[in-house]
Chain A
Amino acid sequence: MFKLISELLRLKDFEQVKHAIVLKNDTSGTEIMNYKQITIGEIKLTGICLAVPPKSFGANHNLTLYIYKAPLNKETLKKIKNKNFKGSLQLIGKIKEIENEEETQYIEVEFTQFDPQNWKSFYNDYTHAQDTIQDYIEAGEAE
């Protein structure tokens, strides 16, 4: 007759696409190495919007981003602690816009040095995730 319900569950339906970011403010010399303090907002064609701790950046500051696929394993976390960023997608950029709130600073970064191919791949990961959800919705709404 029918399969067991548990056999019909698809793991991929519950998996998210996520990345973790750590960064260095190349202008001030400060850094944010705790990925939990950085949230990605909008991903642009040649830039990215992030939420970071307050007062992390000033206008036109330069920064280097290190982007990792989540979840981060212990080995990667150890490497980051030792300032070894091998395996990350590295991008250099400049602060284009800042919005300051009490508990968060929102920054828009415009890239000045990056690999367009790698960035496109990262960008597409997220459009693909959204497209998949849209496909599932359209399948369910079909009459």
Chain B
Amino acid sequence: MSFDKNDKKNKHIVDWFRNKSAVIYEPASMNRTSIKKMLIVYGLNMDKIYVPETFVDAKDFIANEKPDIVFTRDDNKGEKGLDLLDLHIETIPNRLNTGFFLVSEDNSPSISAVVLDTEVDGILTLPFTGASLEKIIKLGLKKKYKPNPYNKMIEEAKGKMVQGDVEGALQILKSASDMNKTPVLSNCYIAKILISNNDEKEAEEMLLENLNQNTKHYLSLKELAKLYKHQSRFKDQYDMTSRILDEYAMNPEKIPDLTKLSIQNEKYEDIWNYAKVFSTIKTPSLKITQFISAGLAICGRFMVKTSRPDEGKKAILKSAKMAHGKFEILKSLAESLLLIGDKEGASKLLNDHANENTDEIALEVFQFEIFARESLTPQTLERGRKLLNSEFKAPEIYQILIEKLISGNMKIGIIEEMVDSAKKDFPDLSDQFQQLLEKAQSNAA
């Protein structure tokens, strides 16, 4: 290990770590050990490093013991590291004396966006080397080891914003801006406050002035794109997004939004390009794959609606392969195929691509919904009753059945009987079923 805590040059770093505590939530025990050892090399006391067994334990520890440093997996079987970040910020709003690191299996450059877009200080990507682990701790916290007055004030202001003291934050930020020749960062946070106070024009001017001083300032570009989205200024949002992507990697979570933005701007060539580009990535991470899948789903839907069914179907099938069984994506894809009357395609897609990750009940309900749309009332009733006698009994099945009975102009007595069963099985949703009955009764009257 090359970091030497006895070297005088590193005194300010060791001082920062002294007396601090840490929590490490990482499922692989050897990774945990390495992270622990590295924190000790940096000056943390080994008795102040807590290793929770479960996500809930990690949350409880953060809430109650307020550890200064957190290392957590970004996604551990659905448990999200960013949820721990939100909690950590809530417990320690001023981030100057904290460190928050994600451990991620995604080592593509796009993962950098998580650090730029949040209060995460660094990401340790897997597999890792000791050199990398040392580096992310050194560089991720370098602004905090010996912060200058300007950065101290910004962190203090951000802390106040988290605590709801917007006026207090604004005062500090204005002082920070006054003391700096190019106060791009403090002005960015002032602009955020102005936007929350509905002073959007002044905020926009401030952010544009920031970009005059630094054309590539990431946060200013991002805040402007966000403002334009909020104002439905889709062309300006598109242009600002272009500027961001020209310089920086895209946060993959934005893939679906990007596709929608292109549609809003009638940049249809983007749509064909996305479908091509996304499907050529050789080693996408699971997260990227799912966002690409969602983006392809939007592409596919657009293509089928604009009379390019063959290209649309290609994008849809590609999306289904990358969806990893995620129900929401499969449903959207099936609905796109139903839009062009391809019932067989929709059914095949669901059967071929649902897997152990797919919510079984949601899938069964959706397949029943499609069946009900296409079938006569007696057949729907028969299939629905079978489902209600199985492990797939769900309030949505009752909803579909009752609506079918209503649209099929069945006798009110039959509808009342179904509603009574529904209320009995799902008493918490009685009001919802009662509303359907009242609709049927007013139709009958």
Contact = CB atoms under 8 A, between A and B. Distances in A.
Interface of A: 1-18, 39-44, 49, 51, 70-71, 97, 99, 101, 104, 106, 108, 123, 126-127, 129-134, 136-143
A6 B136 CA distance: 31
Query: Top 4 closest A-B pairs, CB basis?
Result: A6-B273, A136-B112, A40-B127, A2-B242
Contacts of A44: 129-130
Given A4-B269, A16-B284, A43 B128 contact: yes
Contact of A4 (B132, B248, B273): B273
* Residue among A16, A49, A71 with the highest chain B CB neighbour number at 10 A: A16
Contacts of A142: 214, 216-218
Q: Secondary structure of the B side of the interface?
A: helix
B277 A16 contact: no
B129 A14 contact: no
A16 B30 CA distance: 22
Contact of A2 (B34, B184, B239, B284): B239
Interface in B244-264: 245-250, 252, 258, 261-262
A88 B263 CA distance: 45
B182 interface: yes
B342 to A, nearest CB: 27
Interface stretch (B103-111, B325-333, B364-372): B103-111
B247 A139 contact: yes
A132 B281 CA distance: 18
Contacts of A11: 277, 280-281
A1 B235 CA distance: 12
Nearest to A69: B283
22 contacts: A4-B267, A4-B269, A5-B242, A6-B274, A14-B110, A14-B284, A14-B288, A15-B282, A17-B283, A18-B283, A42-B128, A43-B128, A43-B129, A71-B283, A106-B29, A136-B109, A139-B216, A139-B247, A139-B248, A140-B115, A142-B218, A143-B217
Contacts, number: 169
A9 B250 contact: yes
B377 interface: no
Contacts of B127: 40-43, 126
B248 to A, nearest CB: 6
Nearest to B244: A8
Given A3-B242, A6-B269, A136-B248, 11 more contacts: A2-B243, A5-B242, A40-B126, A42-B127, A49-B30, A49-B31, A99-B30, A130-B136, A134-B122, A141-B116, A143-B185
A18 B216 CA distance: 31
Interface in B162-192: 182, 184-185
A137 B129 contact: no
B109 A6 contact: no
Given A42-B129, A142-B216, A8 B242 contact: yes
Contact of B31 (A1, A41, A129, A136): A41
Given A13-B110, A71-B283, A140-B112, A5 B30 contact: no
Contacts of A141: 116, 218
A143 B128 contact: no
A13 B216 CA distance: 18
A130 B111 contact: no
A133 B136 CA distance: 10
Nearest to B184: A143
B241 interface: yes
B28 interface: yes
A132 B284 CA distance: 16
A41 B284 CA distance: 19
B110 A126 contact: no
Contacts of A43: 127-129
Contacts of A134: 112, 122, 135-136, 139
A143 B239 contact: no
Contacts of B238: 2, 5
Contacts of B285: 16
B261 to A, nearest CB: 7
Given A40-B127, A127-B131, A133 B31 contact: no
B277 A6 contact: yes
Contact of A126 (B107, B182, B242, B261): B107
Given A5-B262, A6-B274, A7-B273, A14 B128 contact: no
A41 B214 CA distance: 40
A68 to B, nearest CB: 13
B296 interface: no
Nearest to A39: B28
Contacts of B239: 1-2
A6 B107 contact: no
B123 interface: yes
B136 A5 contact: no
B365 to A, nearest CB: 32
B156 interface: no
Contact of B115 (A12, A99, A137): A137
